[in-house]
Amino acid sequence: MRYDLLREVLTLLESFETSNHNDSYPLSGDGFMQWIIDTKSDSISSNIEWEGKANGRSVESVISTLLVHMNKYAKNYSKSAIHESQFSTQDEFIYLITLNSFGAMSKTELIRRNKMDKPTGMQIINRLIKCGWTIQIDSTKDKRSKILEITEEGKTYLNHKMDDIRKATKIVTADLTEKEKLELARLLSKMDKFHQKIYNQNISQEELLKLAYENYTIANKHN
């Protein structure tokens, strides 16, 4: 038996129990492994450098800027994917993908799923209807209401361009390994969950920053 390894594991377990006094991690094998991963990540992250760090630029600033950059890169690839097609913008095929994936829904739900303001969303929907890619049908829940449904023509045209759209989607993840992609997806999902709760409250623009920052402060007290 490798007693040196056993002693190292026991030392780690002791450190785990000592540092986990507030039960941040479950007292299980999975909790222990996650603690090791996070501890190692903390050690690595302290050595990460970024532009402006020496001058006091925060990691939040870097992340925010990089997310904006990623969005711009993704839009450029999407524009290339629909070049010389009948799609005017990437939002049109995103709306069609949403309807194709999740089924018929109201205009409001479709717009909110794609995090858009109502006037812009309605312009996209009207364009999809005009092209014959979506239709309005009576709601089965409320006959007074109309819901949107993707048409067979819409499905056909979407499928016609899906190969290029998938290529554009794959390019965005660059040269990340499969493990890195899964970790990034986990982190982005965590961020999305936080922001979705705020988004669902329909807070006015003048109050949004204040209330969102309050939520941020409360959430980070536990980190």
Distance CA 147, CA 134 (A): 10
Q: What is the pLDDT of residues 22-55, one digit of tens each?
A: 777 788 878 777 777 777 655 545 567 888 888 8
Highest mean pLDDT among 9-13, 22-26, 70-74, 144-148: 70-74
In the prediction, which pLDDT does 223 show? 59
Domain segments of the chain as ranges: 58-172, 175-223
Q: Which residue has 């949004």 as its token pair?
A: 208
- Span 136-140, average pLDDT: 86
Residues in the chain: 223
Half-sphere exposure at residue 123, Cβ-oriented, CA atoms within 13 angstroms: 7
Distance CA 60, CA 67 (A): 11
The residue that leads in pLDDT, 37 or 99, is 99
pTM value is 0.73
Note whether 132 and 119 are within 8 A (CB).
no
Percentage, residues of the chain above pLDDT 70: 93
* 1 token code pair: 């038996």
Instruction: Please provide the distance, in angstroms rounded to a whole number, between the alpha carbons at the two ends of the chain.
Output: 38
In the prediction, which pLDDT does 23 show? 72
CATH code matching the domain that covers 58-172, chosen among 1.10.10.10, 1.10.1370.30, 3.40.50.300, 3.40.50.2300: 1.10.10.10
Distance CA 208, CA 216 (A): 12
Q: What is the pLDDT of residues 146-199, one digit of tens each?
A: 899 999 999 999 999 999 999 999 999 999 999 999 989 999 999 999 999 999
Summary mean pLDDT of the chain: 88
pLDDT at 2 over 70: no
In the prediction, which pLDDT does 28 show? 81
In the prediction, which pLDDT does 46 show? 57
Note whether 102 and 150 are within 8 A (CB).
no
Going by C-beta distance under 8 Å and a sequence separation of 6 or more, which residues neighbour residue 24?
Answer: none
